Structure 1
Amino acid sequence: MDQSKSQFRTGVPVLPSPDVKQAVEFYRDTLGFEIAFLSEEPYAIVKRDDVCIHLWQCSDPELPTQCGCRIVVKGIDELYQEYEPLGVVHPNAPLEETSWGSKEFAISDGDKNLITFEENVSKEE
């Protein structure tokens, strides 16, 4: 397959939440995101630095337990130091270096969506 000259630059996670307004408060008050958009539907966008996460209202409270995303960051050690004392780091995903050249950890948001933060630490970039 021939690839065009286009280049993928970033992805935007869209995560389910049974209570979008409560989820927005968690992202703002606990994770340090800003509210970029909040509608009556309800639908929201939260933003931290260059990353936006969209949140949509779902009727199934179990759906978020099956969803997640990965966010590439710079300064993973500092982010871990920020989040670890808050009790949001997933018990099975503490900060660690991987065999594929990243350092990462995961959290569960207030709805149990799994968010993995990663930083490339390999010598090759």
Structure 2
Amino acid sequence: MKLFSHSSIILPVPNVKEASEYYRDVLGFSISFLWQDPPTYGVVNREDSVGLHFSESSAPLYTDHAKLYIFVNNPDTVFEEYEKSGATIIEPINDSDYKMREFVIEDLNGYKIVIGKGIQYDH
């Protein structure tokens, strides 16, 4: 039996409702939980494997580097989806020298999210 089940990042945001709706409307997540009215905590999910939590915070957000890496099965398909949905793409899809096919988006609060998959190079 595994001891650990899963993990989730908790991102501090100034407005939980706006963050949750952005992830739903632009990034294709579903809102699974909002706590209080107006919400001060929320949870969004994409399929069964990726969940993000938001917590209301008035503290400055530190968005100078990537805060989250989401592994996907087909980064090209997700890239095309996000291009069409109007997501802010700050680095287009590419193959990195560290064997990842990935791209970077920025959410409405300035958080940078890398989305990608490991690749094999032919030598």
Shorter-chain TM-score: which interval? 0.7 to 0.9
Query: Quick one: structure 1 residues 53 and 29, their matched pair in 2 at CA, closer, same or farther if it must change by over 3 Å?
Result: same
Aligned-residue RMSD, C-alpha? 2.2
Give % identity: 32
**Structure 1 unaligned regions, length at least 5:** 1-5
Equivalent position of 1:98 in the other structure: 96
CA apart distance, 1:8: 6.8
Task: Write the mapping of 1:1-125 to structure 2, written as runs, cut at 5 A.
Answer: 10-40=6-36, 42-49=40-47, 50-60=49-59, 62-66=60-64, 68-85=67-84, 86-90=86-90, 93-122=91-120
Shift of 1:68: 1.4
2: CA distance, partners of 1:72 / 1:78: 13
Name the count of aligned residue pairs. Answer: 116
Q: Could you say what secondary structure the match of 1:84 adopts?
A: helix
Q: Which has the larger share of strand?
A: 2
Q: Matched residue of 1:103: which SS?
A: strand
Unpaired runs of 5+ in structure 2?
Answer: none
Partners of 1:9 and 1:76 lie apart in 2 by: 25
- Tell me, in whole angstroms, the C-alpha distance in 2 between the residues paired with 1:73 and 1:8: 21
- Determine if contact 1:12/1:54 at 8 Å carries over to the other structure: yes
4+ residue runs over 4 A deviation: 6-10
Check whether the contact 1:45–1:53 (CA below 8 A) recurs between aligned residues.
Answer: yes
Cα separation, 2, equivalents of 1:10 and 1:101: 25
